[in-house]
Amino acid sequence: MNVIPLSLYIHFPWCIRKCPYCDFNSHELKNDLPEKEYINRLLEDLDGDLKNIQHKKIHSIFMGGGPYVGFGLSGSAPLTTDENGQPTNRTEPVHFGSGENDIHNPDFGVNFIGGYQFTSNVTLSIQYGLGLQNLSNNPIVRIHNQALGFSVGYFFK
């Protein structure tokens, strides 16, 4: 009997806001997180699917997460209007420091990663970095880093 290998995808649906790039059927949170109810429903769903996956193997899946600290060295920011309020597509250098118009340094946040290692030692992964530090020194303005990355790798033996 030729058994098709099983792929596993895990999504953590505790979204406060829907991300603009998200393709999942997700909705912004209006009330408290229904964590227990969600986990109970998830376990019921997995129990119902058990008969379809009992003889399949998951080859290699990895997930991870952790903190990051980043230091800005240089950069530029796109401008949408010039000094006179006219539309433009120029960029302006970013300055790091403690002034009101400077970008706060360092940045810190949380990284998440998930991926799959194929039997050929090739890996595919996706990473997401969520900046927690407000990078603006102006108390009215909020700027946070968000990064989405994809990678392909190879494990040498």
pLDDT tens column, 65-95: 888 888 888 888 787 877 787 888 888 888 8
CB 89 within 8 A of CB 78: yes
Whole-prediction pTM = 0.52
Residues 79-110 as b/e (b if ≥16 CB within 10 A, e otherwise) read eeeeeeeeeeeeeeeeebeeeeebbbeebebe
pLDDT averages per 10-residue partition of the chain, 157 residues: 58 60 63 77 81 70 81 81 80 85 86 82 87 86 87 81
pLDDT at 102: 85
In this structure, the chain runs to a length of: 157
